[in-house]
Amino acid sequence: MSNDLSKKVSLITGGCGLLGQEHCKALLEKGAIVYSGDIKLLKSDRFHDEKNYKQVYLDVTSEKSIKSILNKILNQENRVDILINNAAIDSKVEKNSSIDFSRLENFSLSQWNREIEVGLTGAFLCSKVFGNYFAQNGGGVILNIASDLSVISPDQRLYLNDKNIEKKNQPVKPITYSVIKSALVGLTKYLSTYWLDGNVRANALSPGGVFIDQPSEFVERIEKLIPMGRMANINEYKAAIQFLCSDDSKYMTGQNVIMDGGRSVW
Ligand SMILES: NC(=O)c1ccc[n+]([C@@H]2O[C@H](COP(=O)([O-])OP(=O)(O)OC[C@H]3O[C@@H](n4cnc5c(N)ncnc54)[C@H](O)[C@@H]3O)[C@@H](O)[C@H]2O)c1
């Protein structure tokens, strides 16, 4: 079987979110045992029938929480092979009638810290704990989930949602998103060469935006920026996740795989 993951044990951070659930499904389909670690666990029974699926409370900002999940997985499975750093904060920036707090001029240090702590520090802490285990125990795979905005700047015209708002006050994609996603590429490269004797591979996957019934004006605008003329379907990253986590990609490390319908080429 290509992209075989049978008997591989994995942790997916933010595994209960929109794409995290797809990543869980991708690994389960290839035979992996999947631990989905999140601060918000699923109430639905989507994975009810999957004997190889377990969800666990994990806060990626806490080294203690990460270490306790590593120990839990080792107690139950005796091994772990794959870490997917996927957790992030979906930036919801407060707004009042006159000030948009997503804008750089108004972006607070506390909001900056909150987002960096999950998206970047969380990936660092999980890589530190799991990568070190991999290096001491025969190897493993780290996959960082970045974004097309790891290699291009956000086109802020996309986020103008009210024509009555002056351009200088319109909401924007916050600075933290670009900083976190670009930094994840640097983290990936660093990790890929750090444990040279430890057989630890690290790559990044940079997805473009997934279509989930966003407002039609937004979709029309973003489609014009994508050579393929559409946003991604939610299941279109599955094969890439399977490939990057399996031995089929065993000669690949330190790379940022960009799957964005060609958006970053234009
Ligand atoms: N959805 C997209 O179109 C898209 C596009 C490109 C990249 N991405 C990236 O893919 C990843 C997943 O995105 P998504 O759309 O599924 O987002 P999402 O908000 O649905 O999922 C993120 C998950 O992370 C969890 N999380 C937040 N803080 C955490 C913490 N401290 N510890 C553990 N888990 C925590 C959340 O509870 C949530 O379940 C993110 O890194 C995102 O930036 C998404």
Nearest CA to ligand 1 atom 8: 147
Q: Which residues contact 23 (CB under 8 A, 6 or more apart)?
A: 12, 15, 84, 86, 145, 237, 241
Q: Which atom of ligand 1 is nearest to the CA of 89?
A: 27
Nearest CA to ligand 1 atom 19: 90
Element containing residue 109 per DSSP (H, E): helix 109-116
Give the range of the structural domain holding residue 241, as residue numbers without chain letter. 9-91+113-161+171-265
Q: 25-29, 47-51, 81-85, 224-228: which range is least confident on average?
A: 47-51
pLDDT of residue 1: 84
In a domain, 108, yes or no: no
115 — pLDDT class (breaks 50, 70, 90):
very high
SS3 41: coil
Q: For residue range 177-218, what is the model confidence (pLDDT) as tens digits?
A: 999 999 999 999 999 999 999 999 999 999 999 999 999 999
**Paired tokens of 136:** 């001491």
Q: Which atom of ligand 1 is nearest to the CA of 209?
A: 3
Could you tell me if 90 and 119 are in contact, meaning their C-beta atoms sit under 8 angstroms apart? Answer: no
In a domain, 97, yes or no: no
In a domain, 3, yes or no: no
Gap between the Cα atoms of 201 and 99, Å rounded: 44
Residue with tokens 């933290």, as numbered in its chain: 176
CATH number at residue 83: 3.40.50.720
For residue 145, the CA-to-ligand 1 centroid distance in Å is 9
pTM score, two decimals?
0.97
In a domain, 29, yes or no: yes
Overall number of domains in the chain: 1
In a domain, 105, yes or no: no
